[in-house]
Structure 1
Amino acid sequence: MGGEKDLDPPVLVSIKPANESTNIKPQTIELEFNEYVKLDNASKQIIVTPRINKDEMVVTAIKNRVVIKLNQDLEDSTTYVFNFQKSIQDITESNPAENLKLVFSTGNDIDSLRFSGKVSYLFPQKDKFIKDVLVGLYEKNDTTDVLTASPYYISAADSSGNFEITNIKAGEYRAYAWFDSNNSLKAEDKSEPYGFLGDTIRIREDIQNVQFYISKADLTELKINRTSTIGESFDVVLSKIPIETIIEHEDYGKKLFYRRNEKNLRFYYTELRNDSIETRLSFKDSVGYKIDTLIFLKFEESDRRKEALEITSNSGASFLKNLRAEFSFNKPLKRISYDSLIVKYDTASVIQIKPEWVSLVDSTDFTKLKIEIPLSDTISKSTFQIYAADSTFFDVENQFNDKKIEANYKRLNPETLVTELIVVIDTDKRPLLLEVLDKAGKTYRQVYLENTNKHSFADLEPNTYQVRVIIDENRNKMWDPSNMNENRQAELVYYYTNPDDPKSYDVPLKAGWTNDITIIPITPLGINKEPIKETTIEEEVIEGIIEEEEN
């Protein structure tokens, strides 16, 4: 039989140099504990400010002692802070030493200024648990930033997003927060969310109630990586996924077509040509970078086997009045044989689909179709099937679907639906993109509000949803990330939070219910004059970024 489980953390017995020592430049730091200890990811967990070369630092645990060899020179007249977090643990039960920190100065004084606040995710919002999020200060004249090098001062946010940088020297700094998944002590803009305060921060006294918002923003260059002939088509491969594509040529939509698969654009021409086609291409990415260029598209005869036509649909969707179906194709669509495109609703009854019911989702994209079918109230059936026989859809290479397509849809009973969801957004900002999200985070309903801050959603299916609103400053009807190079912040996003459970974004809705909810603006970015509430919701918090001092 074993004894009781050891729940006590290691206790620090001695530390060299002593905490808050001055006028020292140690090459070795030694910590002694009351029991045997081990290290847990010391290279990541031990945070040192101002920054040192941690690649040179060697940390070892021997019995009840931890020894750190710095192997580098320290700066003059500088206060250093070693925050050990949970890196030192007892050897039996892995209990971490608590509140373990060493402060010393290479000069006469210990710097004592503090910079503290909260970090929150902006889009998508996921504040329930913060992990591996750092906050850093860079000296004003430092030529590096959060994307290129580690900061001068650094601190880790706790699981609630709260952070504090201590023992700061008075001065002017640039401030950033970021998710550091790979322990590089800087942000990877292609994959890691980050945020910044747009103005220089002058620290002359303690600064509190700082709010950061982090989100992804890929600032790498938008460019054409390569072009090539592929069979009888022509490929243009970009460095990033564009959010806007413009093709300028007199034959576009008639003989010239394209399809996009992430960063790859494949062009098709329905007639082979011996010469190249000069075409103007314009692209825009999510951070606003643009390309506008002339390119020569070349289409050659080839024996290469043509890509088969593939089709997907929104089969399984439900509807209330008109049946709304969507079909996506892996290549631009050229022709539809309507004789073999029908709606079935029992073993013997069909509706012939008319051309006027069929349209492109986007007039410039020939790979996505929508079909809206008006159904008579006299039809009592609740299940319907869109049926396309083989050889119904033909693409620009004259390939066709070689198998039948069956997409199923269900008509909802109004008595089983939510009566109304009334949403009020407590803001004067316009326009607003209001979205109801399903459990998977996908947009279930949305509406664009230009002249009001209130909307009523009717006939929702009973479920648990989330509701958010995007402040669409540039009126492009989508969320736009930040662009740090242009000192432009990401568009604000407000989520509804449950007043009884501020950590929950869920809105449960049941049949026959009428719900009223109010979305409250989030705490403003920057330095706030009032404490930041744990819910990240505020009433009248005034943004107060300290402006850069005039020369």
Structure 2
Amino acid sequence: PVNYATNYKRKTVFVGFDEFIKLEDAFTEFTISPPLEETPLPRTKGKGIVVDLHYADLDSFTYTLDFGESIVDNNESNPLLDFQFVVSILPHIDSFSISGRIIDAFTHQPDEEGMFVHLYSNLSDTMPLTTKPSYLARTNSEGNYRINHVAPGTYSIFVLKDANANMIFDMPSEIIGFANEWVHLYPDSFPVEPDSVNSILMNGEMEQTDTSSIEDSENLMADTDSVATDSIEFMTYGYYIDLFSFTEAAPYQQYLVEYDRVNPEKLQFIFNDTNSNPPGIRLLDTIVEEDNWYLLEANARLDTLVYWIPDSSLLMRDSITVELTYPETDTTGNLITTVDTLLLTAKIEKETTGSRGKSDGKERKGFKLPFGSKEEVTDTLPPPPPRVSFKNNINSSAHDLYRPVIFTPAVPVFTFDQSKINLVRMEDTLEFPAAFTLKTDSAKFRQLRLDVDFEPNTQYILNLYEGAFTDIYGRTIDSIAFKFTTQKDDHYGIVSMKLSNITSPVILQLLDPNEKVLKQKQLFGDGMVEFDFLNPGTYLLKLIFDDNANGIWDTGDYERKLQPERVSYYPSELDVRSNWTLEYDWVVE
């Protein structure tokens, strides 16, 4: 048939071209709207394409065959972009369309692989969960979509990243989106009279574009014998709506993922999700004071817990049995208390070489204790390292003025002696004592924090003497000195942001170009926010409308008809320069 043919009753559509063509990735690129019971797969035949419509309803619809970018010429593979071929079973072409853009609710970026936008004439909320849509279209790499040739009616709109290609939202991990309101597509909904122009309603305003002549891509011209090139006059009414996509929060489940005795010194338990409290743990098959046999190191979510073992009698056991009590989700989704008996065996080091690295044919098994005991646990006990090992965050050439010095020992510190730590400020060759405070970091179990009011562009020497740190096994450090220079004070820039029209709680985030959160502040009304000590570079500002004031961004929920919390970006990047304050006014819309 010709493009836009009416009264078409055949079961096959042939689209001809003036040269040989190929189809690439047609399985993913091609769509037909309204969708059929089974989606046909286009195939080439001579200088054209054949599409079977065996499952088409011969009484009702205008069918839009959207080839996406699947059609390319045979020689150079130049694509015919966004080519659509339309045939109508009816004596007319259905004339309504819906278009817009889909972007991620949190990042405001489109899905480059494309998503589907569904229309449903049955307005039941369960339709996306059980039934194929009435009409559909795929978004392009920019997130734009357009569903053409829709029959008059009222429709609901649903967005789906269809992971299993069945056009149904039936996997919790699938990306979705939805419109809160139905769309009413009737001629009297649009304030114009039918004529030979397209009318597109964009954000409540009518935009008119001349479409009296339908043209094909410059790269690939359609054959005049099979595709109409004469003027085709018809009226199309269009509705424009942007939507946000998101992934729903996974149903809450709690279970123990992994447990291990990483080495003789510690037991580790990993859960799949946040715990409100640490699990209960009790030793079995051994007599040890219940309250003193471990030190607990846990992250803020309480989903990763490390139990350090300072007791030497437990260290020398190659296996430990514990009773672990923790919440777990059962098969019905309810949270129950689970009590597990777990056997944790220390990792065994194997040695198969004798003197001078040659094998003596014997396998030696054993593990290293963290202290200098000579008692053998198995056949051979290698001598342990005698000193505390630790990491630090010192930048020797330009240590940030606002950044404390952080020490992270390999195992927990039992005591620290500030009298064996000395910090001096250098002026030429003269040394001047510098005040500091040493304390443990309450948020990070093994970290020691040295707070200093640093002077800019100044050399410091930090001396740690033997006995400055002593770990839970009685080991200390070797004396060591760190020489470093602080950053210049005019190296940093400042961003000062005045926010107005804030009517609900918000979270203002300062991001790097990769959208890593560097700093954030919560506001409950209009105010001034200042981000200081910023290295020169490019930054972004992001505003989260924290409607429930819980301090985090919350995703949407289709069943409860909750949209994701709104996110807004400052319209331009922030170019921070040294020794410069950037001042902005942000009137939030």
Structure 1-normalised TM-score? 0.69
Distance 1:226 1:345, change over 3 A: same
Q: CA deviation at 1:37?
A: 0.7
Distance 1:220 1:109, change over 3 A: farther
Range that drifts further, 259-268 or 190-199: 259-268
Q: CA deviation at 1:48?
A: 1.1
Amino acid at match of 1:438: D
Q: CA deviation at 1:513?
A: 2.4
Asked if 1:381 corresponds to 2:461, the answer is no
Amino acid at match of 1:100: F
Q: Any idea what the Cα deviations from partners look like across 1:24-83, whole Å, max 9, x if unmatched? A: 2x332111101111112111111211222455x232213311112345353742332111
Whole-angstrom distance in 1 between the partners of 2:151 and 2:581: 56
Q: CA deviation at 1:131?
A: 4.8
Q: Which residue of 2 aligns with 1:335?
A: 414
Equivalent residue for 1:152, pick from 134, 152, 155: 134
Range that drifts further, 107-116 or 228-237: 228-237
Whole-angstrom distance in 2 between the partners of 1:404 and 1:202: 78
Distance 1:41 1:275, change over 3 A: closer
Equivalent residue for 1:359, pick from 421, 441, 461: 441
Q: Which residue of 2 aligns with 1:414?
A: 489
Q: Which residue of 1 aligns with 2:104?
A: 121
Asked if 1:449 corresponds to 2:523, the answer is yes
C-alpha contact (below 8 Å) 1:424/1:519 kept by paired residues: yes
Asked if 1:22 corresponds to 2:7, the answer is yes
Equivalent residue for 2:15, pick from 22, 25, 31: 31
Q: CA deviation at 1:107?
A: 4.8
> Secondary structure in 2 aligned to 1:123?
coil
Q: CA deviation at 1:179?
A: 5.0
Q: CA deviation at 1:168?
A: 2.1
Q: Which residue of 2 aligns with 1:95?
A: 78
> Secondary structure in 2 aligned to 1:440?
coil
Q: Which residue of 2 aligns with 1:514?
A: 581
C-alpha contact (below 8 Å) 1:323/1:375 kept by paired residues: no
Q: CA deviation at 1:384?
A: 6.9
Amino acid at match of 1:33: F
C-alpha contact (below 8 Å) 2:105/2:566 kept by paired residues: yes
Q: CA deviation at 1:113?
A: 2.1
Q: Which residue of 2 aligns with 1:528?
A: none
Structure 1 runs not aligned, ≥5 long: 1-15, 283-289, 499-505, 522-538, 540-551
Equivalent residue for 2:147, pick from 151, 162, 165: 165
Amino acid at match of 2:339: F
Question: Radius of gyration: which is bigger?
Answer: 2
Whole-angstrom distance in 1 between the partners of 2:19 and 2:454: 80
Whole-angstrom distance in 2 between the partners of 1:61 and 1:399: 78
Whole-angstrom distance in 2 between the partners of 1:194 and 1:409: 52
Amino acid at match of 1:51: P
Q: Which residue of 2 aligns with 1:276?
A: 323
> Secondary structure in 1 aligned to 2:68?
coil
Amino acid at match of 2:116: L
Whole-angstrom distance in 2 between the partners of 1:359 and 1:103: 67
Q: Which residue of 2 aligns with 1:58?
A: 41
Whole-angstrom distance in 1 between the partners of 2:523 and 2:86: 53
Range that drifts further, 299-308 or 148-157: 299-308
> Secondary structure in 2 aligned to 1:454?
strand
C-alpha contact (below 8 Å) 2:117/2:139 kept by paired residues: yes
Aligned residues: 477
Distance 1:88 1:408, change over 3 A: farther
Q: Any idea what the Cα deviations from partners look like across 1:327-383, whole Å, max 9, x if unmatched? A: 67898x46354577776877997989987532222xxx636x462512364x86256
Whole-angstrom distance in 2 between the partners of 1:353 and 1:101: 74
Whole-angstrom distance in 2 between the partners of 1:277 and 1:177: 44
Asked if 1:215 corresponds to 2:246, the answer is yes
Amino acid at match of 2:33: T
> Secondary structure in 1 aligned to 2:277?
strand
Whole-angstrom distance in 2 between the partners of 1:436 and 1:388: 40
Q: CA deviation at 1:457?
A: 2.6
Range that drifts further, 114-123 or 460-469: 114-123
Distance 1:88 1:200, change over 3 A: same
Q: Once the two structures are aligned, what percentage of the paired residues are identical?
A: 17
Equivalent residue for 1:257, pick from 282, 296, 299: 296
C-alpha contact (below 8 Å) 1:344/1:387 kept by paired residues: no
Amino acid at match of 1:40: E
Whole-angstrom distance in 1 between the partners of 2:562 and 2:483: 45
Amino acid at match of 1:175: I
> Secondary structure in 2 aligned to 1:145?
helix
Q: Which residue of 1 aligns with 2:404?
A: 324
> Secondary structure in 2 aligned to 1:466?
strand
Distance 1:170 1:400, change over 3 A: farther
Q: Which residue of 1 aligns with 2:24?
A: 40
Q: CA deviation at 1:184?
A: 6.8
Structure 2-normalised TM-score? 0.65
Q: CA deviation at 1:421?
A: 1.9
Q: Any idea what the Cα deviations from partners look like across 1:144-180, whole Å, max 9, x if unmatched? A: 537x776432223344433221222344433233556
Distance 1:52 1:442, change over 3 A: same
Question: Superposition RMSD on alpha carbons, in Å?
Answer: 4.7
Structure 2 runs not aligned, ≥5 long: 190-236, 282-289, 315-319, 349-366, 371-387
Asked if 1:175 corresponds to 2:154, the answer is no
Q: CA deviation at 1:132?
A: 1.7
Distance 1:457 1:237, change over 3 A: closer
Whole-angstrom distance in 1 between the partners of 2:36 and 2:463: 65
Whole-angstrom distance in 1 between the partners of 2:8 and 2:485: 77
